[in-house]
Amino acid sequence: MEIRDELYEGSWAGLIEDLHARQNRKPYVIKLATRIDDDLARIEKIQKYEEEHEIDLQDFIPGYES
C-alpha cells in the first residue's frame, strides 16, 4: 500500500505498469521481488476486493497514513 501511495499517487495502474515494464526489461521505478507474476496476482486480488467493497484497505492499517 505504501509503495502504491508514495510512488504512484494511490494508483494501482501505475504500479502494475511499472511491474510489467520490469518484466519486459524496460525502465522501471522500483525494484521488487523477482516473482513479478506473483506480485501482479496479489495486486489484482487486492484491487478487486477494494473495488467490490468500495474501500481502500490502507484505511484499515493501524497507524498508516498516506
The reported pTM is 0.54
Instruction: Answer whether 15's CB lies under 8 Å from 3's CB.
Output: yes
pLDDT digits (tens, 9 = 90+) for 4-52: 887 788 888 888 888 888 888 776 666 655 677 788 888 889 999 999 9
Start-end of H helices in the chain: 2-8, 12-23, 36-53
Q: What residue spans define the domains of the chain? A: 2-55
DSSP state of 59: G
Q: Per the structure block, which three cell numbers stand in for 62? A: 493501524
